[in-house]
Amino acid sequence: MKHRGKVREIRLYGDPVLRSKATRVESIDDRVLQLAADLTETMLSRDGLGLAANQIGELSAVIVLNPRAAGGQQDILVLINPEIIEAQGTIEREEACLSLPGISEVISRPARTLVRAISLTGKQFELPVQGLLARALLHEIDHLNGILFIDYLPPLRRRLLTGRLKELEDASRLTLAGQTQIRPSCA
Ligand code: ZN
């Protein structure tokens, strides 16, 4: 059965689901297939490099990546229960997040990584990545653990974001209250 993805609402900073840990997927059932399709559709609708289940309000360990958005050739990748096997080097680069619109900051991440995951067909595979795609992959795996990229900022730089973070928290509260048309102003 083919699962047609729906564009889902992206949860914003302040939503507790972004601070919760996703649980491992035990079986690739209809719900997981639909989740992967929705993640893909939502990521593409926002020209994202990647998206994690938490960002659309689901706590299952599933992420999607779009290598083409990072200049790669591969088709969209779905990673279930991704685990970091190796991470090497360090590189500083600007980073942003669909759950934190209007914020981009330079942070340090490993330059290369090797990740093990399960595919949608239930096969285990290993994915060696570097550059922008490695950054995106590590960023999405962080989401599954309730970690956001701003957590890596030194306290002083984080403090400079206080106003914007407060705006996002307010927007998130309104969205959670059901006013789904509210959009935060995005710089
Ligand atoms: Zn993100």
What integer best gives the mean pLDDT of the chain?
Answer: 93
Rounded CA-CA distance 14/176 in Å is 10
CA 53 to centroid of ligand 1, rounded, Å:
10
Which residues, other chains included, contact 16 with Cβ-Cβ below 8 Å and sequence gap of 6+? none
The residue type of 114 is: L
Backbone angles phi, psi at 150, to 5 degrees: -70, -15
151: three-class secondary structure by DSSP: helix
Segment 14-31 shows an average pLDDT of 97
Model confidence at 179, pLDDT cuts 50, 70, 90, reads: low
pLDDT of residue 8: 97
Rounded CA-CA distance 59/5 in Å is 18
CA 126 to centroid of ligand 1, rounded, Å:
22
Query: Number of C-alpha atoms within 13 angstroms, CB side, residue 160?
Result: 8
**For residue 158, what is the enclosing H or E element?**
helix 155-159
pLDDT of residue 72: 84
CA 4 to centroid of ligand 1, rounded, Å:
23
Token reading at 12: 């914003």
pLDDT of residue 3: 86
Token reading at 52: 């994690």
Known catalytic residues are 140
- Write out pLDDT tens, residues 93-136: 999 999 999 999 999 999 999 999 999 999 999 999 999 999 99
Using a cut of 0.75, tell me whether the model's pTM lies above it: yes
pLDDT of residue 73: 86
Does the pLDDT at position 175 exceed 50? yes
Question: What residues pair up with 79 in beta bridges, in sequence order?
Answer: 63
CA 29 to centroid of ligand 1, rounded, Å:
25
Rounded CA-CA distance 66/72 in Å is 8
Rounded CA-CA distance 162/151 in Å is 13
pLDDT of residue 174: 86
Does the pLDDT at position 183 exceed 60? no
Does the pLDDT at position 171 exceed 70? yes
